[in-house]
Amino acid sequence: MRKTSNYPHVYTLLLMFALYVPCQAQNKETKELTATQGPKALVRTIKQDSKGNIWLATVKGIFRSDGKLFTNITGKVSSARFYAVLEDRKGNFWVSTIGSGVYYYDGKSFQNYNTKQGLASDAVTGIYEDKAGNIWFGTDAGASRYDGKIFQTVKMKEGLDTKGAPSDSTHVSTYEDELWRQNDINDIFEDKTGKLWFSTKGSFYVYDGITATAVANPNGKSFVNVSSAVQDKKGNIWLGGKDGLWRYDGRAFTNVTQNVTSYIYEDKKGNIWTSSENATDRNWVLTRYDAKSLTDKNPAATEIKPKQKGNKGRLFGILEGNDGSIWVGSMSGAYRYEGLIR
């Protein structure tokens, strides 16, 4: 394990963003008051800590804002691309990278954990703390659990099973690629019963502590490239990915939209927010599904569109700040949307 001193530097506030809010068919009033300042870089994850600071995980480092300035706290620690950030129940922070494993930050110094300590891979895209206090890391080689002492990794599929399969190199190569995708973890969450759900580039899995089982869609097929999943206050599970946005009530799956869905978030009022790509014009949009209509076949939705179009307007992680504003990451920084007025 490598320990690194922290020498943060302040990032000058340069970037301003604006969101265009169209009139909605649901007859809701909207307020076009949007602005945020921060690093001009791809922002994957946005979190707010117990002290009210906003944290951005970007390709240029981990930035923390006290409401006035953004400080790059990893500027002297690593030049790797950062992907996720988590404050654990003890008030310490975990940040993940693509290529350098994860870093533990106690507010004073950093400790690096990688494959040498037992992490499944040094490419880590997600971090989650379960009810028992274990920290889970979603890597491109499985889900690694850290109990404070050792790492243990859960694989969706173990080994290369070629029994009864053709011996040609093309088949083996395809199978190996499929195996890799099944174990490339995008997201992790724990449901109210204690089961863990893994969103992977291959499919969607539920883990009972012993076995990870792929979940089938209504057509009996596996979901494809699931990016994000959450359980709402009523116990419904929402998952999004290449197959669109789905709601699972414990008995059946309902397809809410076929738009490719990147991230899902439930706010304090029970509204569901998503970042997704419109299937028609391929532009990205931040969508709010009204809490009162979530069980409807077609929940009332309000779309908030970024100014940039196409892939340049791609949206990522979502956060509701303590003040009720909604933050969302993008290819070129972070947006802040200050809300719908009912």
Each residue's pLDDT tens digit, 115-149: 999 999 999 999 999 999 999 999 999 999 999 99
Domains and CATH numbers, the chain: 2-160+167-341 (2.130.10.10)
Largest CA distance in the chain: 63
* pTM for this entry: 0.85
pLDDT tens per residue across span 171-198? 445 556 677 889 999 999 999 999 999 9
* Residue 52 to residue 43: CA distance in whole angstroms: 19
Find the distance separating the first CA and the last CA of the chain, reported in whole Å: 52
207-231 residues labelled b (16+ CB within 10 A) or e (exposed): beeeebebbebeeeebbebbbbbbb
* Residue 328 to residue 267: CA distance in whole angstroms: 13
Backbone CA torsion sign across 131, 196, 182, 163: positive
CA neighbor of 138 nearest in space, from 208, 172, 187: 187
Does residue 216 contact residue 189 with C-beta atoms inside 8 Å? no
Mean pLDDT confidence for 291-301: 92
Mean pLDDT confidence for 13-30: 33
* Residue 192 to residue 211: CA distance in whole angstroms: 18
Q: Which percentage of the chain shows pLDDT scores above 70?
A: 82
* Residue 290 to residue 90: CA distance in whole angstroms: 34
